[in-house]
Chains A and B, each alone.
Chain A
Amino acid sequence: MQESVTLFHEKGLHARPASVLVQTASSYDASIEILKDGKSANAKSSVAVLSLNADKGDEITIRADGDDDEAAVDALVELVRTDFDLETEA
Chain B
Amino acid sequence: MQTEVVHFDAESSTDALKSLTSVAELNDYVTDAYGEALLDRESKFPTGIYIPLLDYSVAIPHADADLATEQALVVGVPESSVPFDNMEAPEETVDAELVLLLVVTDTDGYSEFLSNLVPLFQEKSFYEHVQSGDGDAIVEKISDACL
Contact = CB atoms under 8 A, between A and B. Distances in A.
A79 interface: no
Given A47-B49, A47-B122, A90-B63, A11 B110 contact: yes
Contacts of B90: 23
Given A19-B87, A22-B88, A51-B119, A12 B111 contact: yes
Contacts of A51: 114-115, 118-119
A19 to B, nearest CB: 5
B60 interface: yes
Which of A10, A13, A44, A90 has the largest number of chain B CB atoms within 10 A?
Answer: A90
Interface in B35-80: 45-47, 49, 51-52, 60, 62-67
A52 B64 CA distance: 22
Interface string A30-54: 0000000000000011110011111
A16 B62 CA distance: 10
Q: How large is the interface on B (under 10, 10 to 19, 20 to 34, 35 or more residues)?
A: 20 to 34
A47 B87 CA distance: 10
A15 B47 contact: yes
Contact of B111 (A23, A44, A53, A90): A53
Contact of B107 (A11, A44, A46, A52): A11
Interface of B: 45-47, 49, 51-52, 60, 62-67, 87-90, 107, 110-112, 114-116, 118-119, 121-122
